[in-house]
């Protein structure tokens, strides 16, 4: 089974994101960037399936500027066999990413596509679902457990009510939840070995996909500062404040 894993480069989750003074976006210069956290789970799961002889090849793919290659390199260091970097500058929206991934799927013919459930920069939670629609493949989103069966996957999904288990036919798209596994760290020897693994670079424009943003970003601003809380003496006071001051009941 061949698995394609989509990995996105985002601002590291430990960084306190700052809005640019002119409100045109967030500061990314000299800011630590990392792989989108659930994408690490997606790679980890693919590597585990390969170690269990259920997968034969893992291809890591990213869409983004030149530096996005670092994300592919990291995936190669933890066990992916080959990387693909689709080069595009500027903001790229989920629809354009999913159209690009559709082209890569048609070229590489994987049996499975693993992705993160959501990117922590745009919080869109759209790319996997859109790719599934474009390919007309089944999707299993928010996966916290994956069991490979004959031409099928049994996937446990994290849903609002708790857990839901579904079966999907392969080929399929799976978007991975943080609870799926514990991503491993790349060892130094594997980081060195990853430098020799191939990364194919393709310009998005050569794939014939229109990557122009469809959403116009008008202004980015900091959320309002939270006022400090107060302690109430008893339930009666709490109810009175909720009713008369917060006016929420
Ligand atoms: P989103 O729909 O933006 O929340 O992203 C969901 C998932 O789609 C991410 O966790 C990635 O696996 C994948 N993805 C989104 N954007 C990119 C990108 N630029 N390059 C590679 N994968 C991406």
Q: What is the pLDDT along the chain (249 residues), one digit of tens a residue?
A: 999 999 999 999 999 999 999 998 999 999 999 999 999 999 999 999 999 999 999 999 999 999 999 999 999 999 999 999 999 998 899 999 999 999 999 999 999 999 999 999 999 999 999 999 999 999 999 999 999 999 999 999 999 999 999 999 999 999 999 999 999 999 999 999 999 999 999 999 999 999 999 998 899 998 888 888 889 999 999 999 999 998 998
d(CA 185, CA 123): 25
The alpha carbon of 36 and the centre of ligand 1 are apart by a number of angstroms equal to: 8
Q: What is the pLDDT of residue 223?
A: 86
Evaluate: CB of 139 within 6 angstroms of ligand 1: no
Domain boundaries, the chain: 2-244
Q: Token match 């670092």: residue? A: 70
The alpha carbon of 227 and the centre of ligand 1 are apart by a number of angstroms equal to: 34
Q: What is the pLDDT of residue 154?
A: 98
Q: At what angle do helices 94-108 and 127-135 cross, to 10 degrees?
A: 50
Half-sphere exposure of 138 (CA within 13 A, CB side): 14
User: Which residues fall within 8 angstroms of residue 80, CB to CB, at 6 or more apart?
Assistant: 5, 43, 46, 47, 58, 59, 60, 72, 197
DSSP code per residue over 8-56 = -EEE-TTS---B-TTSSSB--TT--EEE-HHHHHHHHHHHHHHHTTS-S
Residue bearing the CA closest to ligand 1, atom 9: 116
State the sign of the Cα–Cα–Cα–Cα dihedral 14, 37, 27, 84.
positive
Strands (E) in 54-192, as ranges, are: 57-64, 82-87, 112-116, 139-149, 152-159, 162-169, 172-176
Q: What is the pLDDT of residue 225?
A: 86
Task: Please tell me the pTM assigned to this model.
Answer: 0.92
Q: Token match 């989509």: residue? A: 6
Evaluate: CB of 171 within 6 angstroms of ligand 1: no
Give the nearest ligand 1 atom to 116 CA: 10
d(CA 245, CA 32): 42
CA 135 distance to own-chain centroid = 19
Matching CATH number, 2-244, of 2.60.120.260, 3.40.50.620, 3.40.47.10, 3.30.430.20: 3.40.50.620
Tokens of 235: 């339930």
């Amino acid at each position: 089974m061949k698995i394609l894993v989509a990995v996105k480069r985002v601002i590291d989750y430990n960084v306190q994101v700052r809005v640019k003074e002119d409100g045109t976006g967030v500061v990314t210069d000299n800011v630590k960037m990392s792989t989108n956290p659930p994408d690490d789970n997606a790679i980890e799961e693919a590597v585990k399936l390969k170690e269990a002889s259920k997968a034969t090849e893992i291809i890591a793919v990213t869409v983004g500027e030149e530096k996005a290659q670092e994300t592919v390199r990291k995936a190669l260091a933890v066990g992916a066999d080959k990387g693909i970097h689709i080069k595009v500058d500027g903001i790229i929206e989920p629809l354009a990413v999913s159209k690009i991934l559709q082209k890569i799927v048609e070229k590489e013919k994987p049996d499975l596509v693993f992705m993160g459930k959501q990117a922590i920069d745009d919080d869109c939670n759209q790319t996997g679902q859109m790719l599934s629609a474009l390919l007309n493949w089944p999707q299993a989103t928010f996966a916290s457990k994956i069991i490979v069966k004959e031409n099928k996957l049994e996937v446990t999904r994290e849903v609002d009510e708790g857990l839901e288990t579904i079966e999907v036919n392969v080929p399929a798209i799976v978007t991975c939840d943080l609870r799926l596994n514990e991503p491993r760290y790349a060892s130094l020897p594997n980081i060195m070995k990853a430098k020799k693994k191939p990364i194919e670079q393709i310009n998005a424009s050569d794939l014939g996909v229109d990557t122009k943003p469809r959403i116009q970003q008008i202004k980015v601003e900091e959320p309002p500062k939270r006022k400090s809380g107060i302690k109430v003496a008893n339930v009666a006071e709490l109810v009175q404040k909720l009713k008369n001051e917060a006016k929420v009941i």
